[in-house]
Amino acid sequence: MIQLTNVSKIFKELEAVENVTINVNKGSIYGLLGSNGAGKTTLLRLIAGILHQDKGEIKVNQQNVYENTAVKQQVFFIPDIPYVFPQYTVKQMAQFYQQTYSGWNQDRFDKISAVFDIDCNKKVQTFSKGMQRQVAFWLALSTMPDVLILDEPLDGLDPVMRKKVKNLIIQDVAKREMTVLISSHNLREIEDLCDHVGILHKGRLLLEKEIDDLKSDTHKIQVAFKKPLSEDWLKPLNVLYSEQRGSVSLCIVRGKEEEISTYIKRFQPIIYDLLPLTLEEIFIYEMGDVGYDFKNILV
């Protein structure tokens, strides 16, 4: 379980993380999205206890994480470029983690070796980027962490390996309620894997929701009428975006599906489709709302 309350981190004059409050429940997979430089990595490093916040409180399993070795034993952070010890083989790195993490499970390490086709006796530094990432997951999951923190985790893995790694993560979440926090630009992956999502922009949390709620709240609508309606017919709806393509109006509308449909059907449309938005479309819209260009997002 991860709890952040009004957390800020300042680098010289730059407030990289600003007054962020997040709760990630035990056994939840939380996806952190955001523009480049939004503060995602900084936030993950704060939660992992690598950085110390300037304001606010960060708790993992109800305890402060910074300089707390007991809590750090329960947390594993895989950065966007996984760290490898120069000259160490996989076996030597495993021995290091075995000594460092009390939760190390040799049986798990041996079992997962079947997933990754990697020679344990080779130096990790000589491996490709994707293979080094596989080693990072192999070691991380062998420490049996309570909390797994992942920065762009599946970058560089091939599609088969992505699936295998996702399955391993989901297994640990299902079997022993591991909590996972993932930062990624790959929205499809976040949509697949996560139950909650937060969007960060310029250090601030713009939005935080259950993915299912987020998607059932926002709709893409295509509608056309026999005769054009007056411009303000959409006013009673919570329209986030609209554009006209010939006689068809394309809109993004927030609200309950039933209420929207009842309202629109009153005008007897000749075309009416209400479709769910993908996470990618929601993200682009939300970013557009804070100044990111989002023209032509409706396809």
| 249 near ligand ATP, judged by CB under 6 A | no
Q: Are 39 and 11 within 8 A, CB to CB?
A: no
| 16 near ligand ATP, judged by CB under 6 A | yes
What residues contact residue 252 under an 8 Å CB cut-off, 6+ apart?
218, 219, 220, 221, 239, 240, 241, 242, 277, 281, 285, 297, 298
Return the range that interacts with ligand ATP (CB under 6 A); candidates 9-17, 65-73, 257-265, 283-291: 9-17
Return the range that interacts with ligand ATP (CB under 6 A); candidates 23-31, 33-41, 68-76, 186-194: 33-41
Distance, CA of 3 to CA of 7 (rounded, Å): 10
DSSP assignment, residue 157? Answer: -
Distance, CA of 207 to CA of 31 (rounded, Å): 12
- Closer CB to ligand ATP, residue 38 or residue 65? 38
Return the range that interacts with ligand ATP (CB under 6 A); candidates 23-31, 38-46, 115-123, 251-259: 38-46
Return the range that interacts with ligand ATP (CB under 6 A); candidates 11-19, 55-63, 156-164, 252-260: 11-19
- Closer CB to ligand ATP, residue 36 or residue 99? 36
Among 25, 37, 52, 163, binds ligand ATP (CB under 6 A): 37
Amino acid found at 182: I
Among 6, 11, 110, 273, binds ligand ATP (CB under 6 A): 11
Question: Total binding residues for ligand ATP by CB under 6 A?
Answer: 11
Distance, CA of 186 to CA of 34 (rounded, Å): 11
Give the N- to C-terminal CA distance of the chain in Å, as an integer.
38
| 34 near ligand ATP, judged by CB under 6 A | yes
- Closer CB to ligand ATP, residue 15 or residue 289? 15
- Shortest reach from residue 27's CB to ligand ATP, in Å: 25
Among 29, 30, 31, 39, binds ligand ATP (CB under 6 A): 39
Return the range that interacts with ligand ATP (CB under 6 A); candidates 32-40, 114-122, 168-176, 274-282: 32-40
**Residue 282 is inside which H or E element, if any?**
helix 279-289
- Closer CB to ligand ATP, residue 199 or residue 260? 199
DSSP assignment, residue 271? Answer: E
Q: What is the bridge-based pairing of β-strands 271-276 and 218-224?
A: antiparallel
Among 4, 18, 30, 41, binds ligand ATP (CB under 6 A): 41
The DSSP line for 38-65 is: SSHHHHHHHHTTSS--SEEEEEETTEE-
Please give the residue ranges that form the binding site for ligand ATP (CB under 6 A).
11, 14, 16, 34, 36-42
